[in-house]
Chain A
């Protein structure tokens, strides 16, 4: 019930927009509805027991009702559910949804249409995170596309039409591949679920939890088909993430979209790709993930470095931020594919952190772009002295993105690299070391950009002198800055939320597929160095996660070894 309310609240809000012809009232309604969504998502988080890791069932908010059944061929349920991972992303969606709605006050034309599309988009995103039935999931997944097409195409920049259709086509190709894989899985599993041993359990091959629980039955023993299905799903989600070489829609769409939509695109839409991998592609085909590890890691590392290098070459400020997303989402894939608890936690945390920081960066670019009407990095300069308050908050965003300790990006990236480094998968250390080069490039493009924009002397005088951060802009930026600082200094709330789900995810699906490490004697990586050196002191205080102790990780490995 809570999840239904959360998902459909934005859509219910759409007719309210017709209550008044006054643009200001419409803006208030749009922001108000997304504000309520944010409050609801916070409420969900406050009342959630992170140790509850079953997706549909009692305790959490999950439920499942019969929705559609066609003869004996389809049984589709209206099923929703969350765990810590999706709840963190829902929280991110709620917060960014509200702040972007406020930042959209700068939209001058067709305000009612904008908020109608915006709220529809919000429903699509929230629905995708909570849907626990493949059909329902697919409907929500596709429902996002159309509003996004219009939001970019109507309210975007000069090349908006091309950007909109390119985004639409790219994502649609990904999603039809996904649909094909879903149907193939459905039919095969329906047969498997009808076997004498399982028929009594009343399993449903569209139900995500049921598929998760019986993922090994998907084309059991046929590793080729399993690999093909994994690749189809992976490409479907990789386009959204986006992973190199499926990223080419992103720079165009991010740059052409209006500021609030860039925030949503970078902040939430990309996370849907990562979420899809965590919920479907990876846990359904753990054997394929282990087999494909060298390719996955290569794609991740290439994304990290390539994104950073291309960002370095940009003169368009917004494009730089857009390419930084390719780079930063590469960390997510690396962390996930490493299949270590640290790496996966890092990946989820990186999704959250990237949502905050890229959202902030796009907002920051938007503030200046609105006044300067251009985004050419070579024409700015000396912002530090002109707009100090703006510079202060912008620095949090950009340094966070660079990976400065004390901000959320650092914690997430460190976890990813720890995880990847200690992974038992082949050549994990080499991939990690190469990946860390991306951090250096990341620092370079951010620092060069900061130098060009904020330091030095102004290169040209704008028509109107730059004004400092307005109250509205402050309201959109500061909450994100505070959250980025909070996660950077004390990540426990986020980690406590996701770690039980992550640990359960890893243990349930991957424990038996991990290669046996060469030696079983104790911990391979010197844990002391990690504990004292790299982590901020506060990060060690939470009690959910044991980094390198003989706990969960070691025992899982042991049991796998014994089985073999």
Chain B
């Protein structure tokens, strides 16, 4: 593998056949390319039709996403693609797994927006933004070098800013968007600064080379570490990880509920996809350590141990802060925002052990599995919030009072989602948490795991709040009623059934599939 600048390339391979290489590149980047194409298509459609029935746009989007899913699924094998021996994209299972998470999340978000009952007359814009965001995320999941990564990262950010402010009439929406832009820009700037430092000291923009230099080298170069930490700050911002989580509640509360759900799942997953790839490359770059005696502590180089500590601190801070802040929330949407911060903390906890070569794949698979589950339960909860805003006009927890007596099926489904978010059996959320905690405990990080487990127990308090309102309180005249029937109800049930089913049966098949998928082309 050569480096980005030909001047620095000491051992650049012979220029390969351009035609074959280009064709291969096009095929490998087909999902991203198609999503970019869809941005143009919908933009043109919007210009041509200008005014017209808005129901067309969601259908176009869903069809486009469906095609993208097919394109992701038909791709197979693990290979690096690029030109001139320079790897820009890795087409592999890890990328495919996360792309599926993004695309399903995107599709559900579009449906939620469609069902949110508000027509802004700007449906076309939203679909454009959605395709842009998905294209960026999909690229992120496969990116193997910094330039493409940064462009995609910014694409995801800008579309995110605009989507967060989509509810123009609401001052909270404007505030959300404004905050997101300002904090996001600062984070991007910091990250870009970090990237330049990293490039300067490693002489490469390729993750594999950087990871090798960062992780496998025994002696730390202080400026390089600063660069790495600044770059990490950008990820942490996107993943809403401690100490860069402060923007999250305001933005998630102010944004339309479906968008908040999208940001909480897809945007977070995108940050994790890149971060995990870097970590996995770091492990892959140090094959000699695999052969060592797997005694604890022996396995990690000093830099890896440092990375693990940074991640562990971030994990503990994220989950604890998220949980404690969520305890006091009365607004369901804001509570879910804090809870999604806490959930990122559990994922970061497991990310720590991705660095441990013997459980690396287990940990990656657990995180992938958790995102697949998290998608259903978290989006389902945000859909309930969407419907509350539509039918009641408010998203306070107390607005759910007595729903369990009026709409038992709806309330039961929501309760199952909440139980799954808490991580109690027999739901898929428990299995997800089980798989997340297992490698951490297996690697002997008992303190970290215990903090995580206690946090899981604390989270019950606020996840039980809506359950208490729904079932333990009697409905009174003042509470509005959710008019959830037909399609909405069917959708909620459809989101709930996998949570129950995979809590009891067949989750081993999914977990195995995730494990097979995450083997990263190194």
Contact = CB atoms under 8 A, between A and B. Distances in A.
Nearest to A112: B408
Nearest to B510: A70
A123 B110 CA distance: 41
A184 B442 CA distance: 6
B215 to A, nearest CB: 24
A139 interface: yes
Interface string B487-522: 000000000000000000001100110010000000
Interface stretch (B70-78, B242-250, B254-262, B419-427): B419-427
Given A70-B512, A71-B512, A172-B457, A142 B425 contact: yes
Interface residues on B, range: 20 to 34
Interface in A124-148: 135, 138-139, 142-143, 145-146
Interface in A330-361: none
Interface in B447-494: 449-450, 453-454, 456-457, 460-461, 464, 467-468, 471-472
A348 to B, nearest CB: 28
Contact of B507 (A68, A150, A154, A164): A68
A177 B419 CA distance: 18
Contact of B472 (A146, A153, A183): A153
Contacts of B507: 68
Nearest to A76: B508
Nearest to A182: B441
* Interface SS of B by simple majority: helix
Interface string B315-346: 00000000000000000000000000000000
A70 B471 CA distance: 37
Nearest to A160: B472
B440 to A, nearest CB: 9
Which of A76, A146, A149, A164 is packed against the most chain B CB atoms within 10 Å?
A: A146
B473 to A, nearest CB: 8
Q: Name the prevailing secondary structure of the A interface residues.
A: helix
Q: How large is the interface on A (under 10, 10 to 19, 20 to 34, 35 or more residues)?
A: 35 or more
Nearest to B505: A68
A180 B453 contact: yes
Contacts of A145: 424
B196 to A, nearest CB: 41
A494 to B, nearest CB: 33
Contacts of A486: none
B446 A180 contact: yes
Given A146-B419, A165-B461, A184-B446, A153 B362 contact: no
B429 to A, nearest CB: 12
Nearest to B433: A179
Most B-side CB within 10 Å, residue of A150, A179, A228: A179
Q: Which of B419, B441, B461 has the most CB of A within 10 A?
A: B441
Contacts of A139: 425-426, 430
A183 B441 contact: yes
A187 B442 contact: yes
A139 B423 CA distance: 11
A237 to B, nearest CB: 16
Nearest to B416: A146
B22 to A, nearest CB: 38
A56 B495 CA distance: 38
Contacts of B382: none
Contacts of B376: none
Interface in B77-103: none
Contacts of A69: 508
A434 to B, nearest CB: 34
Given A183-B438, A184-B446, 9 more contacts: A138-B425, A143-B425, A161-B468, A169-B460, A172-B424, A176-B456, A177-B453, A187-B438, A187-B442
20 contacts: A68-B507, A68-B508, A70-B511, A71-B515, A139-B430, A143-B426, A145-B424, A146-B424, A149-B464, A164-B472, A172-B457, A173-B457, A177-B450, A177-B453, A179-B434, A179-B453, A180-B437, A180-B446, A180-B449, A228-B446
Interface of B: 362, 405, 419, 424-426, 430, 434-435, 437-438, 441-442, 446, 449-450, 453-454, 456-457, 460-461, 464, 467-468, 471-472, 507-508, 511-512, 515
